[in-house]
Amino acid sequence: MEPKAVSILIVEDSFIVALHLKTTLEAEGYQVIGSCSSGEEALRFVEERKPQLVLMDIMLNGKLDGVETATQINTKFNIPIIYITALSDKSTIQRAKITQPFGFLTKPFEDREIFTVIEMALYKFEIESRLKESEEKFFTTVNSISDAVITINQDFNILYMNPSAEAITQWPLSQAVHQPVTNVLNLEDEETGELNVNPAQCTLGLRSAGRMPERLLLHTKMGGKIPIGESSLSPLLNVDGKGRGLIISFKDMTEKRERERMISEVELKRTMALIEGQETERNRIAKDLHDGLGQMLNAIKMYAVLNRATDERASDMGKLLDEAIQESVRISENLMPAKLRDFDLAICLRSFCSQASDTTKLDISFEGRDHAMAMSQSCKVNFYRIAQEGVNNAVKHAKATTINVQWLESGQYAILSIEDNGRGILMEDKQKGKNGLTNMKDRAMIMGGTLEIEGDLKRGSLVIVRVPIEKIKEHE
């Protein structure tokens, strides 16, 4: 290795030794930038000139000896130090060792020895610096990323947690270390509330990376629950490629969930406004048709009847008027059945089924108590529309011949179900939200309920709307 112009400070109280060292080193191409005889002087020099290497005699003039001087240099600067000493008593060497010197030169030494020790020291220093640097980089990265990172060993015990992981789990690293991972990473499935196998344990032993399921809730140390997600599980590998643990990383999803929740709330409000607006408008048009146009036609007819004696064509006109009246009633009823205003849901559904049965000549029946619970007009309309849509789908798309609509108030739920013997709702339709399924779903949702659909060729299709009775009472 070609010695480069490395700047060296010699700290040596013996002038002769110092001079000899200087000459030897400079002859070899090193740059000796200073020579101090006391520790105090050396500290000042290092402060000012920052040499790249210090040769330090342990015995020095002044208050500080070489070991003490080296200790002080170490705390302030990152400079490799080599001790030069005639002493070889164990306690001094022990003291010197703690300062992590980069080498020892024991007097008397040969010139060649000096170069070897210096080159070794410089090489070691460079390697260590690089290692330190990469370690620092790694730690700052791991420590500053917002993702929680937990490292566990093969026995599922915690090796390390970064500050994000500490914050989410509320376990300080000092307490978490050596704990079984299940104590710290206490998880449950958000929906079912159960989780028998900790997902962190599944990938262990495998060499490939994986991830934990989404929608997990983490129980914090203080008993809170935090949604986590976007996780990754990577094996911690030894040099020989054997797994010796697992790196688990995940994110705190609280904010994201909150954002999602807000978005869906806005969406729900929008849907609600849309559907309610639609119903209001339908109601208005239905009323206009029924009370305005319809009544006008009726009045016209009365006068026409009065004039029958005098005009022969009046009876023809009467027939036309009848048709016009029926048409206006029909349109009005389609838009908003008048019954919904005057009767409870069970009666309306029963009547709807018998009418549908009459017009389609199919077996459309209603099961349920005689009267439904009190509910707001909009709830009633929503249930009614879902039933309408469901029966309509069964007739038109599923080609059913038997349709059964059921209304049930049971325990905490009000349940409307529409079941048919048709060819079943195709999954494709379900996914695409075809055939008014989206509308049914939206209506169920704005009532605070859920809509389930299933169907197959053998059993036909089944739509179940389930709304908590509490929610219905809230609306009322």
Judged by CB, which is closer to another protein: 174, or 410? 410
Judged by CB, which is closer to another protein: 108, or 411? 411
Give 188: exposed, middle or buried? Use CB within 10 Å, 0-12, 13-18, 19+: middle
Minimum CB distance to another protein, residue 371 (Å): 12
* Contact flag: residue 298 with another protein (CB under 8 A): yes
The CA angle 390-392-396, to the nearest 5 degrees, is: 125
* Contact flag: residue 417 with another protein (CB under 8 A): yes
**Among 296, 320, 374, 457, interactor with another protein by CB under 8 A:** 296
* Contact flag: residue 334 with another protein (CB under 8 A): no
| Piece in contact with another protein (CB under 8 A), picked from 10-18, 59-67, 406-414, 423-431 | 406-414
* Contact flag: residue 419 with another protein (CB under 8 A): yes
CA–CA gap between residue 127 and residue 121 (Å, rounded): 10
Judged by CB, which is closer to another protein: 266, or 302? 302
* Contact flag: residue 319 with another protein (CB under 8 A): no
Contact predicate 449/465, CB 8 Å: yes
Q: What is the C-alpha R_g of the chain?
A: 44
**Among 301, 397, 441, 443, interactor with another protein by CB under 8 A:** 301
3-state secondary structure of 186: strand
Judged by CB, which is closer to another protein: 152, or 465? 465
**Among 421, 435, 446, 472, interactor with another protein by CB under 8 A:** 421
Among 68, 71, 51, CA closest to 121: 51
Residue 474 CB neighbours (<10 A): 12
Judged by CB, which is closer to another protein: 168, or 453? 453
Judged by CB, which is closer to another protein: 280, or 315? 315
Handedness of CA 102, 56, 129, 234 (dihedral sign): positive
CA–CA gap between residue 457 and residue 459 (Å, rounded): 6
Among 368, 365, 350, 424, CA closest to 393: 424
> E strand or H helix at 440, and its extent?
helix 437-446
**Dihedral of the alpha carbons of 16, 19, 20, 24, in degrees to the nearest 10:** 180
- Give residue for tokens 């009459």: 358
* Contact flag: residue 233 with another protein (CB under 8 A): no
Minimum CB distance to another protein, residue 203 (Å): 28
Minimum CB distance to another protein, residue 210 (Å): 27
Q: Which residues pair with 227 in a beta bridge?
A: 217
Judged by CB, which is closer to another protein: 141, or 412? 412
Judged by CB, which is closer to another protein: 111, or 189? 189
**Among 291, 311, 316, 470, interactor with another protein by CB under 8 A:** 291
CA–CA gap between residue 37 and residue 12 (Å, rounded): 5
Minimum CB distance to another protein, residue 419 (Å): 5
Q: What is the DSSP string of 458-476?
A: TTEEEEEEEEEHHHHHHH-
Pair type for strands 216-219 and 31-36 = unpaired
Tokens of 345: 């849901």
* Count of residues near another protein by CB under 8 A: 45
Task: Please report, as residue ranges, which positions from 350 to 379 form the binding site for another protein (by CB under 8 A).
Answer: 351, 354, 365, 367
* Contact flag: residue 346 with another protein (CB under 8 A): no
Give me the amino acid identity at 199.
P
Contact predicate 36/11, CB 8 Å: yes
| Piece in contact with another protein (CB under 8 A), picked from 5-13, 246-254, 268-276, 321-329 | 321-329
CA–CA gap between residue 472 and residue 67 (Å, rounded): 83
* Contact flag: residue 441 with another protein (CB under 8 A): no
* Contact flag: residue 311 with another protein (CB under 8 A): no
Judged by CB, which is closer to another protein: 156, or 383? 383
Minimum CB distance to another protein, residue 344 (Å): 10
| Piece in contact with another protein (CB under 8 A), picked from 8-16, 19-27, 226-234, 294-302 | 294-302
Give 344: exposed, middle or buried? Use CB within 10 Å, 0-12, 13-18, 19+: middle
Give me the amino acid identity at 274.
L
Site string for another protein, 98-137 (x = CB under 8 A): ----------------------------------------
Q: Which residues pair with 13 in a beta bridge?
A: none
Q: Peptide bond preceding 108: is omega within 30 degrees of 0, i.e. cis?
A: yes
List residues near another protein by CB under 8 A.
290-291, 294-296, 298-299, 301-303, 305-306, 308, 321-322, 325-326, 329, 338-339, 341-343, 347, 351, 354, 365, 367, 402, 404, 406, 408, 410-411, 415, 417, 419, 421, 452, 454, 459-460, 462, 464, 466
